[in-house]
Structure 1
Amino acid sequence: MIQMIDSHIHLDHYTDDEIEEVNSSISTIQSLISVSFNLESAKRNLLLSEKYPKVNPAFGFHPEQPLLTNDERMELLSWIECNQEKMIAVGEVGLPYYLRQESSKPLPLQEYIDQLEVFIVLAKKWNKPIILHAIYEDAPIVCDLLEKHSIQKAHFHWFKGDPVTINRIAANGYCISFTPDIVYEQEIQEIASIFPIEQMMVETDGPWRFEGPFKGLMTHPNMMNESIAILSKIKEMPIQEVYKQLLYNTRKFYSLI
């Protein structure tokens, strides 16, 4: 039977009914890596992992929001410290690319970088993979931090960026995951064409909604079948081999083997 892993989903952002629907219709999904947005999100993901065996939670702080206060940061980090053995990775963390585009005044980027570095240090301390929101010009900054701390397992989810950075990510042994937008976005297809399949994963980033053939549909892990079909064409590989390679990559990266 064909098997997949959704390497990046915000399961806690679905409604209770949607979560039940997803978990009752994923016979070909081995695991859901459910990333966290903040402390409350992390707590809910932990509860979901206790209820649904296929859910593996990651704990972090999504960068596309205002910085944590010192007290908020201490509370979050203390909670993660207490529960780090129950998480599969640190994430989602990174830098606020979209927030900077939308903000009417400059954001304190260095403070976001400093906040991210805290999570990178902890990922190394706990020997956990790190799941990153780092695109375009933010990605080289993040690569600098990862290299500074000799991080081995970094997952750039839904990556967008230039060929130089793509090659740098590949050379460092880091992974990139592709969402269903690879089905209709040429920019993403071009990234897939030059990135090694041995370092690829697939994801949904659900409940984020997609366009093209997915317009108006609830984002579901089964949509990754369409992503894999496109990857098969791009890489000119038999689709069954692509399924096996992506599953192997993800299981190895997240120590699910």
Structure 2
Amino acid sequence: MNKHRHDMVAIGEVGLPYYLRRKLKVSMSQYEQYIELLETFIQKTVTWEKPIVLHAVQEDAPNVCDLLENYSFKNAHFHWFKGEEKTMTRMKENGYYISVTPEVVYDEEIQLLVQRYPLEQMMIETDGPWPFEGPFWGTMTHPNMMLESIKAISKIKKLSEEVSVRLWKNTRLFSIINGLL
């Protein structure tokens, strides 16, 4: 990373092993090593003034917020975020972006998250390839799925075409602020 830092536009996707911890037994000392490694990435984002794209869901998200806040770092994007209301409030106040996937079309938890999170701090993604359920069951992940995500977000937010414009602007703004475009 040090050698190629001038070629990099962001650091990510980095984070904590929530799903790995659920499947395997990860000891507290192993988890602390993950936190130390993530802190190293965050230190580099601060030093290099690069954005960070994070994998931090459920009970891992507050730990990541702690790290970001310790460095007063704001240019964070929580990829495919899932978490508690208290954590969402904290993330909103810090100006962190989240992204949602086509799950928003059929998953009530994600629909509630979209209802509560500001559209101005939201992006969409497919995170493909991923075996989505609902109307996407058995379908290869494709960017066209984002159109369905936009429709679902529009319905949840009770807004029309302004949702797609806002999501595009958010992605572009995050990219411009962070020198990606």
Return the TM-score normalized by structure 2. Answer: 0.94
Give the unaligned 5+ runs of structure 1: 1-79
Match of residue 130, structure 1, among 18, 31, 52: 52
**2:14 matched to 1:84?**
no
Structure 2 CA distance, aligned partners of 1:165 and 1:176?
12
Distance 1:216 1:210 in 2: 8
Distance in 1 (alpha carbons) for counterparts of 2:50 and 2:25:
36
Deviations 1:91-148 (A, max 9, x none): 0101111111111452511110000000000011111110000011110000000000
Return the letter of the residue paired with 2:6. E
Which one of 171, 174, 179 corresponds to residue 253 of structure 1?
A: 174
Instruction: Tell me the distance in 1 between the aligned counterparts of 2:135 and 2:85.
Output: 28
Identity among equivalent pairs (%): 55
Q: Give the one of 158, 169, 180 matched to 2:91.
A: 169
What is the aligned counterpart of 1:153 among 67, 72, 75?
Answer: 75
How many Å separate the matches in 2 of 1:100 and 1:145?
20
Which residue identity lines up with residue 19 of structure 2 in the other structure?
Y
2:156 — aligned with what? 234
2:32 aligned with 1:140: no
Give the Cα separation in 1 of the matches to 2:123 and 2:8. 19
Any unmatched runs of 5+ in structure 2?
A: none
Question: Hey, what does 2:114 align to over in structure 1?
Answer: 192
Which stretch has the larger CA shift, 185-194 or 83-92?
83-92
Give the Cα separation in 2 of the matches to 1:105 and 1:205: 25
Superposed displacement of residue 221, structure 1: 1.3
Taking the aligned partners of 2:33 and 2:8, their CA distance within structure 1 comes to 26
Distance of 1:190 and 1:105 partners within structure 2:
30
1:224 to 141, 146, 157: 146
Q: What SS does structure 1 have at the residue aligned with 2:13?
A: strand
Structure 2: distance between partners of 1:100 and 1:243: 35
Q: Offset at 1:215?
A: 1.1
**Following the alignment from structure 1 to structure 2, what is the Cα–Cα distance between the partners of residues 244 and 210?**
25
Distance 2:128 2:137 in 1: 13
Letter matched to residue 89 of structure 2: N
Alignment root-mean-square deviation, CA: 1.2
Q: Which residue of 2 aligns with 1:115?
A: 37
Residue matched to 1:243? 164
Letter in 2 for 1:198: E
Higher Cα Rg, which structure: 1
The corresponding residue for 1:97 is 18
- CA distance change for structure 1 residues 91 and 161 in 2, over 3 Å: closer, same or farther? same
Q: CA deviation at 1:216?
A: 1.2
Query: In structure 1, how many angstroms separate the alpha carbons of the residues matched to 2:83 and 2:9?
Result: 26
Q: Greater strand percent: which structure?
A: 1
Give the C-alpha shift of residue 206 in structure 1: 0.8
Tell me which stretches of 4 or more aligned residues in structure 1 moved more than 3 Å.
none
Q: Deviations over 1:67-94 (max 9, x none)?
A: xxxxxxxxxxxxx222222222100101
